[in-house]
Structure 1
Amino acid sequence: MNARADGGSYTRKEKGAAAEQAARLYLTSRGYLIKECNWRCRSGELDIIAEYEGGLIFIEVRSRSGSAAQGTAEESVDERKIRQVRNTAQVYLHMQNMHQAVISFDVIAVQLNADLSIASLRHIREAF
Structure 2
Amino acid sequence: MSHRPERANYTRRQKGTAAEQAASLYLSSRGYIIRECNWRCRSGELDIIAEYEEGIVFIEVRSRSGAGVHGTPEESVDERKIRQVRNTAQVYLHMQGLHEAVISFDVIAVQLNRDLSIASLRHIREAF
TM-score bracket relative to the smaller structure: over 0.9
Moved over 6 A (4+): none
- Aligned partner of 2:3 in structure 1 is none
Identity of aligned residues (%): 81
Counterpart code for 1:103: I
Gaps of 5+ in 1: none
Name the counterpart of 1:3. 7
Bigger radius of gyration? 2
- 1:41 counterpart residue number: 41
Determine the C-alpha separation between the residues in 2 that align with 1:69 and 1:90: 34
Equivalent residue number for residue 64 of structure 1: 64
Residue 104 of structure 1, CA deviation: 0.1
Correspondence list, 1:88-107, <5 A: 88-107=88-107
Residue aligning to 1:53:
53
Distance (whole Å) between structure 2 residues aligned to residue 13 and residue 3 of structure 1: 17
Aligned mates of 1:37, 1:112 — CA distance in 2: 20
Secondary structure (helix, strand or coil) at the match of 2:45 reads: strand
Structure 1, residues 45-72: CA drift from partner, whole Å, max 9, x if none?
A: 0000000000000000000000112110
1:118 partnered with 2:118: yes
Q: Over aligned residues, Cα RMSD in angstroms? A: 0.9
Cα distance in structure 1, aligned partners of 2:18 and 2:71: 19
User: Where do 5+ consecutive residues of structure 2 fail to align?
Assistant: 1-5
- Alpha-carbon contact 1:3-1:10 (below 8 Å) kept: no
TM-score, normalised to structure 2, is 0.94
Deviation at 1:3?
3.2
User: Given residue 33 of structure 2, which amino acid in structure 1 is its aligned partner?
Assistant: L
| Secondary structure of residue in 2 paired with 1:69 | coil
Aligned length: 123
- For normalisation by structure 1, the TM-score amounts to 0.94
